[in-house]
Structure 1
Amino acid sequence: NIGKIAVIINGYDDSDLSQYPLFPSVRAGKRAKVNSFAGAPVVSLNGHRVSQKRLLARWPELIVVEADIRELEQFDGFRDWRNDPDVIIGQVWPLLTHQCRRSLAVYCSRSGLVSIGSLGLQFKHLTEVMASYYRKGSAFAVNFLNSGDAQNMIDEIEYERYKVQYINYEANVISTTSRLWGGEGNRIQVAREKGQPLIITTDREMTKKKFLKGELTYKLSPIGGCTSLEPCDKISFTSIFACIDCEKSILDDDRSLKNIQRGLNNLKRGQSLFVPENPQYKQLESEISEIYNKLEKRGLRKKMDALV
């Protein structure tokens, strides 16, 4: 796709793919290097040097120092870092784009704040084995989040996160006119209908204080909201409908039904790839039927089907 974009921008010739590079220069210019391809110039190494100079202008500390070597020796003591030709004191760090993913995995794991499952979701890994590979050696890494400055930053992020949760809760629960359902949503809705609304929906200042203290939470889920203070171990990429039966969920007739309908359409598209006799087809049919049955029990099937 990038190659097609380069063709459109610069008028390159990709009619003969054997003469079109895998990594063409998106912006043709003096720094582009033609090599042996007739269709388009390839990305020049000079561009990397220009990017490196730009980074150094902003962060001069990207030069390798003695403390860096000592940290590397602590991280991987089986490698001769002092005689490594790629990491030389006084020279620029040999940064590569993919190192950002590796560093993120290592330091997230070392902090103890990010589970391997969360890391796998962030990296879009299909298996936890790959996430484990990325964070290899993290036990020997420096836990820089132990510093005072880092802790202050984390506290600020947490405060903002709690504040955003309350804002979403106020908009989607307290102020909504849509009928609520789901485990916690049904409790709030029943109290409203009895004319005895819960204090968390009437005393906004108190509710906001509880959110900012972390005593209440409202996390957006694939089909609604979640009020569980603990990490969710029910939702996965292959099953986003666990919220329907969860006692901590807050769902509504508008947004939630639209998201459920979208999820069902995705299941049906996946099912269409198989013949009816295929076990995978039958498994998806069972999942779709189960979701429809849950909606029928709640009297929501017809309302969802009526959505455009």
Structure 2
Amino acid sequence: MTIQMARYYANGFDNLRTIFGYYDEKKIDFVLPYNHFAFEFQMAMPMSVANQLIADLLFKEEPLFGGTGSYMQRQKERVEAGEIKIEDIRADTELRVKNGAISYRPTLLGGCTKVGRCDSFMLGDYTECLSCEGAIIKPSRLSAAIEDAKNELSNYAEDSGEYQIVKGDIERLMVFKTRLIDTVEL
């Protein structure tokens, strides 16, 4: 039976056009059909990222801090004042995402617009976000991270390395909160 199946599937396999495309001998390359879903996906990704960024940041009441967060906060205030239209921001954001100038992903402290890989985030060092130019820090998320870290601290002995690391994280988070967020709220 397996030999018969091999013959059946081998018959005309060079004319097979799959979702992965086909090999074009004239172009000496693999080619995707013009109606392939990958082209729709390429077009939809910048719009999706732009929509998520705008929805997460501009339509929320919470103030934003951090490198990109402070810029987004100013943009939000300009939209509320009627100086610029949301359509302009959406079009500009879509263009910048499409050109690879910005990206967006939610993080523990808010969001990140850094393009490419973030080694600190991958290693779980979320306090590096506090000084990153692509960071968007939300006060509620910062407070939650401080509370979580304080709860985690109680799991470790005071002389352990883990305790020292978490304690250092709490100190960095508290300094950021005191210096920037609490000052603005006054």
TM-score (norm 2): 0.63
What pairs with 1:105-120 in structure 2 (closer than 5 Å)?
none
Q: State how far apart, in whole Å, the 2-side matches of 1:282 and 1:210 are.
A: 44
Q: Which letter does structure 2 place at the counterpart of 1:239?
A: D
The one of the two structures with greater contact order (alpha-carbon pairs below 8 A, sep at least 6) is 2
Aligned pairs for 1:54-203 (under 5 A) are: 65=6, 148=32, 152-190=36-74, 203=88
- Cα distance in 1, alignment partners of residues 133 and 73 from structure 2: 14
The gaps in structure 2 that reach 5 residues or longer are: 10-29
- Over 3 Å counting, the alpha-carbon distance change for 1:174 and 1:265 in structure 2 is closer
In the superposition, the TM-score normalised over structure 1's length comes to: 0.41
Q: 1:299 to 1:176 in 2, by over 3 A?
A: closer
Q: What is the DSSP-based 3-state SS (H/G/I as helix, E as strand, rest coil) of the residue aligned with 1:175?
A: coil
Q: What secondary structure is seen at the aligned counterpart in 1 of 2:119? A: coil
Q: Which has the higher strand share?
A: 2
Please give the alpha-carbon distance, in whole angstroms, between the structure 2 residues aligned to 1:201 and 1:300.
Answer: 29
After superposition, the Cα gap between the structure-2 partners of 1:271 and 1:176, relative to the gap in structure 1 and judged at 3 Å, is closer
CA contact (8 A) 1:275 1:281 kept: yes
Q: CA deviation at 1:156?
A: 2.7
Q: Cα deviation per residue 1:7-50 (whole Å; 9 max; x = unaligned)?
A: xxxxxxxxxxxxxxxxxxxxxxxxxxxxxxxxxxxxxxxxxxxx
In the other structure, the counterpart of 1:206 is 91
In structure 2, relative to structure 1, the CA distance for the partners of 1:191 and 1:161 (3 Å cut) is closer
1:239 matched to 2:125: yes
Cα RMSD for the two superposed structures = 3.9
Letter in 1 for 2:161: P
Kept after mapping to 2: 8 A contact 1:165/1:211:
no
Match status 1:224 vs 2:110: yes
The offset of 1:271, in angstroms, is: 2.3
Cα distance, 1:220–1:214 mapped onto 2, change above 3 Å: farther
> Contact between 2:108 and 2:145, CA under 8 Å: does it hold in 1?
no
Give the 3-state SS of the residue equivalent to 1:300 in structure 2: helix
Gapped runs of 5+ residues in structure 1? Answer: 1-62, 69-145, 304-308
Q: Which has the larger radius of gyration?
A: 1
* 1:176-219 per-position Cα deviation (integer Å, ceiling 9, x unaligned): 33322110121343466689999695614532541563444333
What percent of counterpart residues are identical? 16
Question: Take 2:82 and 2:119, find their aligned partners in 1: how far apart are those partners?
Answer: 30
Q: How many residues align?
A: 160
Mark the CA change 1:260 to 1:209 in structure 2 (over 3 Å): closer, same or farther.
Answer: closer
